[in-house]
Amino acid sequence: MFQVLIQYHYLLFQGFLTTLKLLGCIIIIGVPFGTLLGILGGRYSPGLTIIINSGRFITKVIPVLVLLFWLHYPLQSLLGVVINPFWTTILALGAVNLIATAAIISSELKLLPKSYRESGITLGMSSNQIINRIELPLLVRRALPQILLIQAAMLEYTLLASLISVPELFRVAQTINAMIYKPVEIYSLIVVFFLIILAPLHLFISWMQKKYVTDYA
């Protein structure tokens, strides 16, 4: 396994960089814009919440792989365009991430007890102080572990990009295996990679859930 890693480290590194680029773009699309959409829906627009929940339902019932293939083949054929599969993957997974994040934020905002805001008003706090010192810390503590879980899932979903010819880590591993046919060593490297990345992340999420995510009451 280490011999394969040393011999093909450049190709694996390039695949790793592509995976990181995919994940970075997906997070940039999903987390900030999803948070903003969730706040608008959860705090100001019930109609927007309905749209968010509908989008969440659709992304749950339609497998990500099916959505990715539909965007890459049928939709582009209907529109008469050819888009780089790298950007198709970002569009598909970014949209899924955005909707999932928005649904989490919107849901958690609705769960915030009104008594907290009323207590802040009673103490003479301004609206900004109530948001910054009471509501925002509670929202972050409850929503962050869920959002991190979604990002871990997005990293796993980047593997699907190999099926539409994006040269990410798994696609590179398949290419190397086709050249030297050492599936045990090559795919063991992929297992080790995801173990190193995702195991600490899931342990951290578990710790956060135990420490912070408790009943509002």
For 189-200, how does the pLDDT look when each residue is reduced to its tens digit (9 = 90+)? 999 999 998 999
> What six digits make up the tokens of 199?
């195991």
Structure tokens at 24: 């970075």
d(CA 201, CA 216): 25
Residue 190 buriedness (CB in 10 A; 0-12 / 13-18 / 19+): middle
2-211 homologous superfamily: MetI-like (1.10.3720.10)
Q: Alpha carbon 180 to chain centroid distance?
A: 34
**Among all chains, which residue has been given the structure tokens 């790298």?**
86
pLDDT digits (tens, 9 = 90+) for 19-59: 999 999 999 999 999 999 999 988 888 889 899 999 999 99
Whether the predicted pLDDT of 183 surpasses 80: yes
pLDDT of 213 reads 65
Task: Categorize the per-residue pLDDT at 138 as very low, low, confident or very high, splitting at 50, 70 and 90.
Answer: confident
CA 174 to chain centre: 24
Task: Please give the angle made by the CA atoms of 84, 63 and 17, to the nearest 5 degrees.
Answer: 40
106 with 202: CB under 8 angstroms?
Answer: no
Q: What is the pLDDT of residue 121?
A: 86
Overall average pLDDT of the 81-91 stretch: 94
- Percent of the chain surpassing pLDDT 90: 60
- pTM as predicted: 0.89
Domain chopping of the chain, boundaries: 2-211
3-state DSSP of the chain:
CHHHHHHCHHHHHHHHHHHHHHHHHHHHHHHHHHHHHHHHHHHHCHHHHHHHHHHHHHHHHCCHHHHHHHHHCHHHHHHCCCCCHHHHHHHHHHHHHHHHHHHHHHHHHHHCCHHHHHHHHHCCCCHHHHHHHHHHHHHHHHHHHHHHHHHHHHHHHHHHHHHHCCCCHHHHHHHHHHHHCCHHHHHHHHHHHHHHHHHHHHHHHHHHHHHCCCCCC
Of the listed ranges 47-56, 57-66, 118-127, 153-162, the least confidently predicted one is: 118-127
**Cα–Cα distance, 195 to 180 (Å, whole number):** 24
